[in-house]
Amino acid sequence: MTPSFIGNLTDFLACSAGKKRLSLKLGSSFFLFGLINNVLYVIILSAALDLVPPSTPKGIIAFCNIAPALIAKLGWPYFLKGRIRYARRIVGCCTLSFIGMLVVAFHESLYSRLLGICLASFSSGLGEMTFLQLSTTYSRSVGGRSVGYFASGTGAAGIVGAFMWWELRGLGISTGVGISAVLPFILPLAYFFLLPRPAAFVHQSFSASYTLVPADDLETEIDDLSQDDVESRVEPKVTVSLSAADKWRLVKPMLLKYMLPLFCVYTFEYTINQGVAPTLLYPVPSHGLISKIIHSVRDYYPLWQLVYQTTVFFSRSSISLGLKTLPARLLPAPAIIQFVILLLLVLESAVGLLPEDREGGSIFLVFMLISIEGVCGGLAYVNVFYRINQEQPDPASAHNPEITKQEREFKIGSIGFADSSGILLASILAVPTEMELCRAQVARGKYLCRGL
């Protein structure tokens, strides 16, 4: 072995270890961003029965938990101009969430608790948009992975949040919600002390390219890095910002391509979860595996939610697990499948797809349909935001790195209101849907929904 070969091998091993450390820190940071940003949303929904008096409709919790987030996602990208100050935003989101949860924990009046929920919801909506925009400050290859890690964290929030409240609820509202109020402080800690800066990937890639990458690949790699990382970080001499006309130009191509599929998926998905799933009830089984899980009729709804949250987590983790993304032409497919599942579950609830003496088959059918629902919902979320992150810049603005940077941030931030507005519409549709399905069940002699 020649000294030069040994030197190159040492450089290769050192560079490989450095890349692994950077990837681990990047993945951990964005996973935590998704997990912590969304976990309070889940905790509040899980605690809905405990937060309001029995006479208060629980739908008001769902409304206050999504409407402020929709306002944040609609207001910030469309009406604010200029560069995004990520550190300020993340610290602001942490502060708002902390204050909101403290208000919920230590004020017993209904209106005070609803105000606290609204503050936490606004912070969650602004935080989700901010972390997705943060992914665009990296090169497309790194940014795509960042979206995958973030989506995986948001999926895990459903399971972690429900489990946390299950464990904390025995401590009471003040203590349980008060403990969860400290979670938002993880966000600025991860941002300042764990998240690698984009320049770290630039330096690492140039170092690796110098010793290991063939000339043709090196030229391509340098071009990609210089456009996405180096140029985008050159401080502009003149302050520039996107005009309303610029934003409309960017939004128009995304309306049917990205926003409509995401809106439809969330409308169908949350109509199922909030309006149909509460009526998918069966007698308590006396034998088989399901009898170990279901001990009363009230156990069915938590079971459907657990199945949904688990499948959403795995499907939102598809990119971070190394699975292939959906082709752009198939982005509407999850919404179409969700609509079919919605129709099937409505029919199962209203009239029953299988004979009444085959309740085990009906339970299995619902289990499979809700599993597919969760998979479709998770795939729609992660693939839409991944595709937006990977889009090439507009040729008309490619000469200005600052404008290109703001366009990437705006495009991924402007999509967020599509899913939130779908959830909001579903929360409106869910109440009459649940009532009508219960009436249909009573009309055919099935009274389980009346006993809840």
Ranges of H-type helices in 353-400: 359-390
Task: Give which of 306, 287, 312 is closest to 377, Cα–Cα.
Answer: 312
Judge whether 412 and 405 are in contact, CB under 8 Å: no
Q: What is the DSSP code (8-state) at residue 239? A: -
Token reading at 288: 């088989």
pLDDT in the model for residue 262: 95
pLDDT in the model for residue 7: 52
pLDDT in the model for residue 1: 55
**CA-to-CA distance for 222 and 197, rounded, in angstroms?**
18
**Torsion region of 445: left, alpha or beta (phi above 0 gives left; psi -120 to 50 gives alpha):** left
- In our burial notation (b when 16+ CB lie closer than 10 A, e otherwise), range 195-213 reads bbebebbbebbbebbeeeb
pLDDT in the model for residue 225: 43
Backbone torsions φ then ψ of 394, nearest 5 degrees: -65, 125
Amino acid identity for residue 441 in this structure? Q
pTM of the model: 0.85
pLDDT in the model for residue 416: 86
**CA-to-CA distance for 128 and 198, rounded, in angstroms?**
19
C-alpha distances out from residue 449 to 271, 301, 442, Å = 17, 11, 8
Tens-binned pLDDT, residue by residue, of the chain (452 aa): 555 545 554 554 555 666 788 889 999 999 999 999 999 888 887 776 677 676 666 667 778 888 899 899 888 888 888 789 999 999 999 999 999 989 988 888 888 888 988 999 999 999 999 999 999 999 988 999 999 999 999 999 988 988 888 888 788 888 888 898 999 999 999 999 999 988 887 755 544 443 333 333 333 333 444 444 444 444 444 577 888 888 999 999 999 999 999 999 999 999 998 889 888 988 888 777 777 888 888 888 888 888 999 999 999 999 999 899 999 899 999 999 999 999 999 999 998 888 766 777 888 999 999 999 999 999 999 999 999 999 888 777 777 888 889 999 999 999 988 988 998 899 888 888 988 999 999 998 888 877 66
Report the greatest alpha carbon distance in the chain: 86
Give 2-68 as a DSSP string.
-HHHHHHHHHHHHHHHHHHHHHHHHHHHHHHHHHHHHHHHHHHHHTHHHHS-TTS-THHHHHHHHHH
CB burial class (10 A; 0-12, 13-18, 19+) of residue 390? middle
Token reading at 289: 């595996």
Task: Give which of 317, 310, 308 is closest to 370, Cα–Cα.
Answer: 308
Judge whether 150 and 30 are in contact, CB under 8 Å: yes
Query: Residues 6 or more apart from 151 whose CB is under 8 A from it?
Result: 34, 316, 317, 319, 320, 378, 381, 382, 385, 386
**CA-to-CA distance for 426 and 433, rounded, in angstroms?**
10
C-alpha distances out from residue 40 to 93, 176, 206, Å = 12, 12, 40
